[in-house]
Every structure is written in structure tokens, then in C-alpha cells.
Amino acid sequence: MSRVYNFSAGPACIADEVLKQAQEEMLDWQGTGMSVMEMSHRGKAYMSIAEKAEADLREIMNIPANYKVLFMQGGASTQFAAVPINLMGSNRKADYILTGQWSKKAIAEAKRYGDINVAASSEDSKFTTVPEQSEWNLSKDAAYLHYTPNETIVGVEFPFLPETDVPLVADMSSTIMSKEIDVSKFGIIYAGAQKNIGCAGLTIVIVRDDLIGNCIDGMPAMLDYKIMADNDSMYNTPATYSWYIAGLVFNRIKENGGIKVLEETNRRKAGKLYSAIDESSFYSNPVDVDCRSLMNVPFILGDSALDGAFLEGAEKVGLTTLKGHRSVGGMRASIYNAMPEAGVDALVEFMKDFEKNNA
């Protein structure tokens, strides 16, 4: 068996230790004689898994007691609807910052429910920067401000935390747990699990208590944060296995020194890759230096005719899924928490060799 370094943007790599533990526990979880997949979500064994996952997440992210953690389904894309439905209130107005393809989708979905003010946009720059807050046009009566701290496709990350008097809502799908944050600054944080948490099927929603209970009448019960919170995310059958895998990941982060240690490693990993790009005249990255993503590093080759050879050569040395998003082209290396530093080192070495042989 040989494992590759998988640079996929999502679903993305998961640490070997986590997969091995899941494998060891596959047929018989801790003497129950059952796989976690086969357990009733209301049984004692599964409840202990679910509760520990939440407790560990609260500990590693330092989530204050006045926040609920919901384990939902439907991906971040479903939260694009759940957020406006739960937060818009009677005036049905919200502010959004447009910095890439994901915030664009969030805006399109929110528009189905109310009046959306795009307070700032970097579309003119092809989303290669983040507009400074001094240039934003925030409305006076918005129910909340939504933004995407890390845009996964273009690899652009906010270098600052937006300042606002209304609840701040963040789609952290591709950045959650990559660096330390102060949860109390946010009204809602949501993230699909398949990038930095675990496997697809699970969506984590961290929501401040006072924002729960105002869902617009007539909306699906499954999207109502109050129903989810009152039922401990078990109003229906949750994504039990994905929740379990997330728990293994949280536990591993806890045991390895927490998010602080991850952040240091992530900064080192991204630093190595951006240096390799910047020091070469063959590779380039179009994003403003101070807005570059820690997690998703797109780069283009001097000659796009060489893209195929690059991908093929990389594949041969076990570096996979480097093809850039179709809207950007070139390459993209997603280097989430679970990507070992050795994987980044191997990629940098391959890039240097490829340049030497082809530039």
C-alpha cells in the first residue's frame, strides 16, 4: 500500500492516524461488537461519541458557553439558505462581502429570502484581493454581515477581522481550525466538514444563543437552528459516521498541542510554497501578498502548455489532485491541516525540478 500526498480542495486528505484508528474500530467499536456506522444515534455508545466530539471541539476552538454547536447536514451550501432564514428577521436585510466564487453563491442563495446589500466586492480584480473595510458600504439596518474568510477557489484570505455592530457570519469551510480565532467575535461560524475537519456529510454550525429562535415561518424544520439546538442536532438521523470521524480529528488536534501548533505548522507550510513560487520566474500567484490563503495555494506555470506535463510528472511522484479549479486554471495546492509538512516539501522539490527541466 502506498499513500499519496493529496492536494485536493475537498473532500481533502485526512491524517493517517485518524484513518488507521477508524480502521481499527471499523468492525468493533470499543467492545460493542458494532461498527459506528451501525449504531443507533440514540444509543449510549453513539451518544458518548457525539458528546465527546462536541466537547473536544469546544475545547480546541475555545467556544464560549453561550454558543451552541450544531452538527448539521447539507454542506455549507445549505447554510447559505439557513443563515438568512434564521437571521434576517422581519426587515429581511443583510450585508454581504463578495470576495470570490463561494461568497457569490452565498449571496445568490440569500437573495431568495431578502434584500441583500453587497457592501464590497473584489470582482473587478478577479477576486485577487480583499477590499479594505474603509471602502465598504455597510447598510444601517442589516440583520447581519456575511463574509467568507477564506475563498477556496482563488486562494484569497481576509488579512483582518471585519468590524461590525451586527452579528458577523463567517463561512469557514476551508479555514476552520487552521489558525487561532476568537469565537466570541462571531455570531455564526459554519463549515462543511470535508476540508479541514473530516469527511463529507457533516456541517458544523457554531451559533450564538441569542441568534437562535427567529427562523422565518414556513421554512423547513431541518434548517431551523432552534429545532436543531433543542434536539441536540438529532431531530432526525445525523451524519453519524462523519460526526465520529470529526471527533477523531478533534481529539488528535487536542493531543497534538491544539490549534496554536497547527497554525505554526500551517504558516510554515504556506510560507515554503509561496516562497518557492515567488523565488521563481516560472511560477506565479496572482493574489495580493497580504491576502494570500494559508490553505489554498493556486499557481500558474509560465507556459500553460506545460500544465499536462506538470500534473503527470507530479502524479508519478505521488503528488495528486493539483489541477487548478476550472475557473482559474493552472494548479492549486490545498494544504489543509491534515497535509503533512513533508508533502509540501515534496511538492516544492518537484516544482524546482520541473522548472529546471522545462523552463
Which candidate, 118, 76, 127, 132, places its Cα nearest to that of 99? 127
| Identified catalytic residue from 29, 68, 102, 224 | 102
> Is 77 annotated as belonging to a binding site?
yes
**Minimum CB distance to ligand PLP smaller for 129 or for 148:** 148
**Smallest separation, CB 151 to ligand PLP (Å):** 6
d(CA 18, CA 252): 8
Nearer to ligand PLP, 174 or 242 (CB): 174
Please identify, using beta-carbon distances, which residue of 296 and 301 lies nearer to ligand PLP: 296
CB of 334 to ligand PLP, least distance (A): 9
Q: Which of 29, 68, 95, 171 is catalytic?
A: 171
CA distance 10 to 328: 16
Cα–Cα dist 94/257, whole Å: 38
| 30 marked as binding residue | no
Instruction: For residue 230, indicate whether it is catalytic.
Output: no
Give min distance, CB of 60 to ligand PLP, in A.
20
CB nearer ligand PLP, residue 100 or residue 330: 100
The C-alpha atoms of residue 210 and residue 206 are separated, in whole angstroms, by: 12
- Is 102 labeled as ligand-binding? yes
Query: Min. distance of Cβ 61 from ligand PLP in angstroms?
Result: 17
Euclidean distance between CA atoms 71 and 190, whole angstroms: 10
Q: Could you report how far apart the first and last alpha carbons of the chain are, in Å?
A: 34
152 among the known binding-site residues?
A: yes
Classified as helix, coil or strand, 99 is: coil
Query: What SS3 class is residue 292?
Result: strand
Q: Least distance to ligand PLP from the beta carbon of 129, Å?
A: 17
Q: Which long-range contacts (CB under 8 A, 24 or more apart) does 278-282 make?
A: 280/351, 280/352, 280/355, 281/359, 282/355, 282/358, 282/359
- Sign of torsion, CA 33 35 37 42? positive
The reply to whether 236 sits in an annotated binding site is yes
Kindly tell me the number of DSSP H helices and DSSP E strands found in the chain: 9, 14
Least CB distance to ligand PLP at residue 171 (A): 5
**Closest separation in Å from C-beta 146 to ligand PLP:** 11
Q: Which is nearer to ligand PLP, 198 or 355 (CB)?
A: 198
Q: Left if phi > 0, otherwise alpha if psi is -120 to 50, otherwise beta: which for 33? A: left
To the query of whether residue 136 is one of the catalytic residues in this protein, the response is no
| Residues 169, 154: Cα–Cα separation, whole Å | 20
Q: Which of 195, 224, 243, 269 is catalytic?
A: 195
Cell of 128: 485577487
Which one, 100 or 247, has the nearer CB to ligand PLP? 100
Which positions lie near ligand PLP, rule CB under 6 A?
A: 10, 75-77, 102, 148, 152, 171, 173-174, 192, 195
237 annotated binding-site participant: yes
Q: Which is nearer to ligand PLP, 297 or 301 (CB)?
A: 297
Q: Is 171 a catalytic residue?
A: yes
Strands lying side by side in the sheet with 331-334: 283-284, 296-301, 331-334
What's the CA angle centered on 190, arms 186 and 192, to 5 degrees?
Answer: 160
Burial class (CB within 10 angstroms; exposed 0-12, middle 13-18, buried 19+) of 263 = middle
171 is in an annotated binding site: yes
Residue ranges of the binding site for L-glutamate: 42
Residue ranges of the binding site: 42, 76-77, 102, 152, 171, 194, 236-237
Residue ranges of the binding site for pyridoxal 5'-phosphate: 76-77, 102, 152, 171, 194, 236-237
Active site residues: 102, 171, 195
